[in-house]
Amino acid sequence: MSVERVLFGNMPDGREVYEYIITNSSETSARVITLGATLRSFEMQDKDGTVRDVLLCFDNVKDCLELSDYQGVVVGPVCNRIGGASIEINGEAYPLTANEKGITCLHSGGELGLSVWNAIVTDSDSVEFSYVQADGAHGFPGEKEVKVIYRLGDDNKLHIKYEAVSTKDTYLNFTNHAYFNLNGYDNGNILGHTLSIDADLITEVDENSIPTGRNIPVEGTAFDFRNERVIGKDIDDSHIQLQYTGGYDHNFCINGYDGTLRKIATATGELSGIKMNVYTTLPGVQFYAGNFLKGIPGKNGVPMEKRSGFCLETQFYPDTPHHADFPSCLYKAGEKYISETVYEFSL
């Protein structure tokens, strides 16, 4: 196991951005940069021995800042969407940044993904990234100290542990917005991948992708991934939920949620044979099939076309502050938020 630090580039104001390369004994490696604590690359051998990088992202700071659709970044303090771009805590209303259609707060304004984090090597297999977000940033109360620890084991498990504490009562819900293509970022779309998700229900959304408050059964629909299903099989189905979002972009409600780390999803690249199991301590996972990618240039200039990557963003449900029946992500001042997600890769 080893961790190497290299200069990745410079911010417009001259600040240095570093990349940390964690490599295990089988030469599998994960690369994370201090800009956005971004998981930029994951390289491993496929079934034929060819090394493939299974993450969509960018090669330089400028593109990370100017072109990003959140590729690989840490999102918080509240990921996903908050309807009406406002929340209420202890009877007080907090208007939030309305950065989607002028009516929705998406990914808390995106600050964490566009900021330079501090980083320290904590062991031969792990790096800890930290960031302090100001009280009131994008409308959210409390100064928030955030830590994200990436650890890569010899078992090809990439652990991502999140910790945060706020000086005021606030909502906390962190995720990583990695876009995966298990055939390699330069190998076309993900429609031939197979996927399973341990969820009987999805969170129903309206035409603006805001939860209605209902969780609806997947049985008999294009959303039934309880058994392995080809992603592209029904992605253009007439189901109104798919029409609203242009394909899969929904929260799946994990069966049997109890806060422990457990396997919730499996995806496999049909060309590479690379399989990814997903484990999390959280109650939901946003399956997004890259419907809104529009050909922006990524690594080595390879365009990120529509559906060339997919996301499995572990989370509390979207718009939780407005739905008392959803698992709560309201944390008291000084109360520590902790969650963990693991992406396990094999052949």
Catalytic residues: 177, 313
What is the rounded CA–CA span in Å between residue 20 and residue 6? 7
Residues 6 or more apart whose CB falls under 8 angstroms from that of 160 comprise 39, 148, 149, 150, 176, 340, 341, 342, 343
Residues 6 or more apart whose CB falls under 8 angstroms from that of 115 comprise 35, 36, 131
What is the rounded CA–CA span in Å between residue 267 and residue 89? 38
267, 343 contact by CB (below 8 A): no
CA angle 137, 321, 330 (to 5 degrees): 75
What is the rounded CA–CA span in Å between residue 244 and residue 210? 10
What is the rounded CA–CA span in Å between residue 40 and residue 53? 10
25, 328 contact by CB (below 8 A): no
What is the rounded CA–CA span in Å between residue 166 and residue 256? 29
Residue 300, SS3 per DSSP:
helix
CA angle 325, 328, 332 (to 5 degrees): 145
Residues 6 or more apart whose CB falls under 8 angstroms from that of 13 comprise none
Which pairing describes strands 249-254 and 199-205: parallel, antiparallel, or unpaired?
Answer: antiparallel
